[in-house]
Amino acid sequence: MQLDLSLLLQQTGVPLFPEQASSMAKDVDYLYFFLTAVTLFFSVLIFSLVFFFAVRYRRRSETERPKPIHGVLSLEVFWSVIPLGLTMVMFFWGASLYIQMRRPPANATQLFVVGKQWMWKIQHPEGQREINELHVPVGRAVKLTMTSEDVIHSFYVPAFRVKMDVLPGRYTELWFTPIKVGEYHLFCAEYCGTKHSGMRGKVVVMEPADYETWLSGAPAGESLEQAGGRLFTQFNCQTCHEQGPTSRGPSLHEILGRTVRMKSGETITVDEAYLRESILQPNAKLVAGYEAVMPTYQGQLSEEQVLQLIAYIKSLTRPGGQPGKGSQK
């Protein structure tokens, strides 16, 4: 027998819960029901006891003196251990769900989201761009790498039970696997100015075949990589980042995911956030062995262009490409 309270509520027409449209939604709801049930149980218990005791042990006359009470150890242990157990269940249950939700599967399709007042801009790796709409195939894990052009926004899809802040100057991630074909609300869940309430859109979950049709039908133009490659040439990045005895910057070949030693002595693992920082504030974390000669590209590149450059750098695995010198010591 499977307990499915939210389905039951939906069938009774009580619109308390949005549809469970992602692989994670059920698990989130079970935890939520558990918390609600525990809270309800103790609220009822405590209120009834307060009422019962107030009546049962009321003062019956002016001269009445209550008998002194001594503690009962077994009772004390009883009402300490049970709440401890319950809160630990909540903690481990919640933490394990949280960890699951924070760890996108390795094979997830990566899409890019840029929030701005007051719209969501989405780029597919193949080059399709959407505004306030996100098309995804059913059954495939999708990872969103998100940033904001202005203020803090929050990407929220209730039917998927996922929500993540979208911050200026930083990348945040969110992932989900849609399990049901349909259209679902997308909201901004962080007050971001006058039209915050209008900053919404829809997630369209499609059958894989329909999705392929949609992909080929949507005007793609350049893929992210191609756009990034064009920017790379336009800004002459290769002048310094080509490998060779005269290169002034570290090679970018197969750089993503590599652990690199910094001038300061610390080592970091190169991720999207580090690449972004290095494009916009090149001297913030210098790779050991290199001088601070790179100019900043802050103000010259939009967040979308930075994402395109990163997609290009990610694709740099040319045959014969070797790990850049200085990238590992």
Asked if residue 190 binds ligand CUA (CB under 6 A), the reply is yes
Least distance in Å: CB of 135 to ligand CUA? 21
Least distance in Å: CB of 193 to ligand CUA? 7
- State which of residues 24, 162, 192, 224 lies at the interface with ligand CUA (CB under 6 A): 192
Region 33-52 residues binding ligand CUA, contact defined as CB under 6 A:
none
Asked if residue 114 binds ligand CUA (CB under 6 A), the reply is no
Asked if residue 150 binds ligand CUA (CB under 6 A), the reply is no
Asked if residue 161 binds ligand CUA (CB under 6 A), the reply is no
Least distance in Å: CB of 175 to ligand CUA? 20
CA distance 170 to 277: 9
Binding residues with ligand CUA: total (CB under 6 A): 9
DSSP 210-262: HHHHHHHHS---S-HHHHHHHHHHHTTTHHHHS-STT-SS---TT-TT-EEEB
266, 268, 272, 275: CA torsion to nearest 10: 40
* Closer residue to ligand CUA, CB minimum distance, 200 or 263: 200
Structure tokens at 324: 């850049």
CA distance 113 to 272: 13
Q: Which stretch binds ligand CUA (CB under 6 A): 16-24, 63-71, 103-111, 187-195?
A: 187-195
With 0-12 / 13-18 / 19 or more C-beta atoms within 10 angstroms meaning exposed / middle / buried, residue 52 is exposed
Backbone angles phi, psi at 186, to 5 degrees: -125, 125
Binding site for ligand CUA (CB under 6 A): 115, 118, 153, 188, 190-192, 196, 199
